[in-house]
Amino acid sequence: MTRRFAPFVERIAHEGGNDPWALHWEARHAAARGEDVIVLSVGDPDLSTPVPVVETAVAKLRAGDTHYTESGGRPALRSAIAAQHRQRTGQAVTADNTVVLSGTQNGLFVASLCLAGPGDEVIAIDPMYTTYPATIRASGATLVRVPATASAAFRPDLAALEAAVTPRTRAVFLATPNNPTGVVLSVAEVDALASIARRHGLWLVSDEVYAGVVDGGSVPSLATRLPEQVLTVGSLSKTHAMTGWRAGWIVGPGDFIRHADALAQCMLYGLPGFIQEAAITALAMAHAAEAEVRDYCRVRRELFFRELRDVPGIRAYWPDAGMFMLLDVRASGLPTADFVRRLYAAEHVSLLDGAAFGRETEGFVRACYAADEAALVEAARRIRRFCVRLAAG
């Protein structure tokens, strides 16, 4: 008898059949073996989780906080998330407007499954984070891409977005700051998006995992403009160097949160208690932690951009915020897949192929500058050496 898989597995497969993270993990494994490798292919800050957060987790583990927890999160953590959201956005929310999940990625997946299904359409701004296509298609919905082109400094074309809306459109997924471009939506763009969503009865899923890294610690809020149609997704991963803790959430209207809680029961069944308690500690010190990460990223963004000036065959794009810088490598003469592979083979620097983020970043590569300053300088030196050799034929 022939074994079969559900059609679902095709919807979550990597586009084009290639794993965009293969080179990254090759580099990480090489670095773990002690090889001279510089890894700039992932947004994992070169910082340690704050000591009080770690100590809370350790203390709770030793005290036996290793049993089942509420599927949607402990009330104290949900209240802390609501308090931070109120402070960051001004939106009046309570614990009943929050659900605790396993990182921003889990939040996006829950939003996708609860908002759309077969026959529906979901719009996303291209370029988008690498997991968005599979996350959206997992529900059975069709992904509709709306471009944010390099010629427009990667700002979204909102007229094109509204033109893409059909009777089957259920939601728009977006990130501010965007990953990989670093673009932060302006007040005017947020107002326009809210107007489009209001006119057409659309959900807006706002991925704000990097919001705390923006100057001032916040972005113009969609949620305050359209509270009954906006889901705000966030986590502690980037602002507290807690990528491996998988502590995230969704803030949204109460009826959505109840559905998300039901899905969490059959998918996650509660984040570990010691992690939830550590997350409460993290949120209590968010102001200081976010300020540290903002300073850290600002210094490194300026350093890396400066070091890449005048490198033949590439052009660096200045990001509004975040941890990433796009490099236009079209003038190098190499397809991006070849560029990142040959750069790694020759100079042991790992970058991510921009094609993994969408059609608008084909011809670009993404570099993470949330790394040690000396490593960034050395990486830029190696990239320059590689590009000089390419230019020389």
Q: What is the pLDDT of residues 252-305, one digit of tens each?
A: 999 999 999 999 999 999 999 999 999 999 999 999 999 999 999 999 999 999
Q: Which domains does the chain have, with CATH numbers?
A: 12-48+288-391 (3.90.1150.10), 51-285 (3.40.640.10)
- For residue 393, pLDDT beyond 90: no
The predicted model gives 363-379 an average pLDDT of: 97
Percentage with pLDDT > 90 across the chain: 95
According to DSSP, residue 173 is labeled: E
Single out the residue of 208, 209, 174 nearest to residue 45, CA to CA. 209
Are 227 and 200 within 8 A, CB to CB?
no
172, 233, 252, 297, 303 from 239: Cα distances, Å:
25, 14, 21, 11, 20
> What's the confidence (pLDDT) of residue 356?
95
The predicted model gives 340-356 an average pLDDT of: 97
- For residue 250, pLDDT beyond 80: yes
- For residue 1, pLDDT beyond 90: no
d(CA 240, CA 160) in angstroms, rounded, equals 36
The predicted model gives 219-238 an average pLDDT of: 97
**Angle made by CA atoms 160, 161, 162, in degrees to the nearest 5:** 95
For the chain, the 3-state helix, strand and coil shares in percent, each to the nearest 5, are 45, 15, 40
- For residue 17, pLDDT beyond 80: no
